[in-house]
């Protein structure tokens, strides 16, 4: 069995087609993309992602996805021009060998970061899907087995015009059985704490985390962290600039609330550095950015440092989500998987059978061969950005 063809599909679904926008109502237009002050990163006005299809000479098909929430055409070009020549004609079951070849090919040119890593993640996920289909085993079985069949999750983000509306929507989710939340904040200490309290007060048994989206400076983060300690917060995510390792180490040593980091990282080498410096207490690799091969390695490194794993998942579609669920199920130190109720319907639109989620948000791990999901190729073709 050999790889015969690789296709890339940079997708764009408009806000109208998706009946939603990941950027949210507070975002403002910025040269074709959106910005949500005080956050700095660009967001799509709708939903964007990169889908990769790999076919073998005997007719098997594997699907992959790289979390490319802006400009998926860039990652697609990397797959087309740099990665495809490295894997054509090779055995798709040699996943680790091909991963090594792809990463080594750009070693001195940002091989572990940015769009290069996103492109490799999409190819890697497709290779694991192919490997599973060739053997009849799921990705988590190929990885050595699942520690759980149903994965705990947390609801990531509760939208509302003000704290009163957020509290009302939280109460509805609590009634359905949700007990774990993360709030997307990072405005200022008083505003963040008011919103945190609005959610935390909805039920006495909640676990509530705060995601600051890299917005604070060290002194501000310490002040907020001490307030979170008093409230017994679940974790404090992305408090400082993502390149400030020493600042995160200082913060982590100053507060009891675990510091959570990971969505900006792509490799076991980055995570090892942060873990060795005790700059992170909860690791959050995004499998749509790391791929399955590296994601499993990151989970193993975290376990070696006795740190838990809570895989990040934001605006990617159902392929990356399925990959993330398999890595999460294969991780001995799993805390929970990120779940965004508003984006799940968009993520599921690419699949012929939706991923299963309980009323309380917990996910059932797909058990079919490979990723255990089937892709609606007509949908993919309809929303390709040409």
**pLDDT per position as a tens digit, 70-98:** 899 999 999 999 999 999 999 999 999 99
pLDDT of 243-283, one tens digit each? Answer: 999 999 999 999 999 999 999 999 999 999 999 999 999 99
What is the C-alpha to C-alpha distance for residues 187 and 148, in angstroms, rounded to an integer?
A: 37
- Structure token pair of residue 144: 């050595």
Helix H or strand E encompassing 174: helix 163-175
What is the gyration radius of the CA atoms in the chain, in angstroms?
A: 20
Q: Are 192 and 185 in contact (CB under 8 A)?
A: yes
In the sheet that holds 28-30, the strands lie side by side as 28-30, 33-35, 42-43
Tell me, what's the pLDDT at 27?
77
Domain segments of the chain: what residues?
3-136+378-382, 142-371
- Residue 68, pLDDT score: 83
Query: 67 with 316: CB under 8 angstroms?
Result: yes
pLDDT of residue 332: 96
**Residues 67/18, Cβ–Cβ less than 8 Å:** no
What's residue 23's pLDDT? 63
Mean pLDDT of the chain: 94
CATH tag, 3-136+378-382? 3.30.390.10
* Cβ atoms of 120 and 65 closer than 8 Å: no
> What is the per-residue pLDDT for 51?
98
Give the contacts of 219 (CB within 8 A, at least 6 positions apart). none
Cβ-count burial of 332 within 10 angstroms (0-12 exposed, 13-18 middle, 19+ buried)?
Answer: exposed
In terms of Cβ atoms closer than 10 Å to its own Cβ (0-12, 13-18, 19+), residue 177 is: exposed
| Residues counted in the chain | 386
If one looks up domain 142-371 in CATH, what number appears? 3.20.20.120
Per-residue pLDDT tens listing for the chain (386 residues) = 999 999 999 999 988 887 777 766 777 777 788 788 888 788 888 889 999 999 999 999 999 999 888 899 999 999 999 999 999 999 999 999 999 999 999 988 888 889 999 999 999 999 999 999 999 999 999 999 999 999 999 999 999 999 999 999 999 999 999 999 999 999 999 999 999 999 999 999 999 999 999 999 999 999 999 999 999 999 999 999 999 999 999 999 999 999 999 999 999 999 999 999 999 999 999 999 999 999 999 999 999 999 999 999 988 899 999 999 999 999 999 999 999 988 899 999 999 999 989 989 899 999 999 999 999 999 999 999 87
pLDDT computed for residue 45 by the predictor: 83
Q: Using CA atoms, how far apart are residues 367 and 141, in angstroms rounded to an integer? A: 9
Q: What are the E-state strand segments in 204-253?
A: 207-211, 236-237
pLDDT of residue 264: 93
Task: Compute the 3-state secondary structure of the chain and give helix, strand, coil in percent, each to the nearest 5.
Answer: 40, 20, 40
- Which uninterrupted H or E stretch holds 51? strand 47-56
Say if residues 259 and 281 touch (Cβ distance below 8 Å): yes
Enumerate residues 6+ apart whose C-beta is below 8 A from 209: 154, 181, 182, 183, 233, 234, 235, 236, 237, 260
């Amino acid at each position: 069995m050999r790889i015969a063809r690789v296709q890339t599909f940079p997708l764009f679904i408009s806000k109208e087609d998706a009946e939603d926008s990941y950027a949210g109502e507070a975002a403002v237009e910025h040269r074709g993309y959106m910005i949500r002050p005080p956050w700095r990163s660009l967001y799509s006005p709708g939903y964007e992602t990169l889908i990769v299809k790999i076919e073998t000479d005997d007719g098997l098909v594997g699907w992959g996805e790289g979390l490319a929430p802006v400009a998926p055409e860039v990652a697609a070009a990397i797959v087309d021009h740099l990665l495809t020549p490295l894997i054509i004609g090779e055995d798709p079951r040699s996943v680790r060998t091909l991963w090594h070849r792809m990463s080594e090919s750009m070693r001195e040119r940002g091989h572990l970061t940015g769009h290069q890593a996103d492109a490799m993640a999409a190819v890697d996920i497709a290779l694991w899907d192919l490997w599973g289909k060739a053997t009849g085993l799921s990705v988590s079985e190929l990885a050595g087995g699942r520690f759980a069949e149903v994965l705990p999750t947390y609801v990531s983000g509760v939208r509302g015009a003000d704290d009163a509306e957020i509290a009302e929507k939280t109460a509805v989710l609590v009634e359905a059985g949700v007990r774990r939340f993360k709030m997307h904040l990072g405005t200022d200490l008083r505003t963040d704490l008011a919103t945190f309290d609005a959610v935390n007060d909805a039920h006495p048994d909640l676990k509530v985390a705060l995601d600051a989206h890299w917005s604070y400076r060290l002194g501000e983060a310490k002040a907020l962290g001490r307030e979170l300690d008093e409230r017994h917060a679940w974790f404090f995510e992305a408090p400082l600039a993502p390149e400030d390792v020493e600042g995160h180490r200082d913060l982590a040593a100053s507060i009891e609330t675990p510091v959570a980091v990971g969505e900006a990282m792509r490799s076991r080498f980055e995570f090892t550095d942060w873990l060795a410096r005790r700059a992170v207490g909860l690791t959050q690799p995004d499998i749509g950015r790391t791929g399955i091969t590296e994601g499993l390695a990151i989970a193993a490194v975290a376990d070696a440092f006795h740190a838990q794993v809570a895989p990040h998942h934001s605006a990617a579609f159902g392929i990356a989500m399925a990959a993330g669920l398999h890595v999460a199920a294969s991780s001995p130190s799993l805390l929970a998987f990120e779940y965004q109720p508003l984006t799940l319907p968009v993520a599921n639109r690419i699949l012929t059978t939706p991923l299963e989620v309980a009323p309380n948000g917990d996910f059932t791990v797909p058990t079919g061969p490979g990723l255990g999901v089937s892709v609606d190729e007509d949908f993919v073709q309809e929303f390709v950005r040409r």
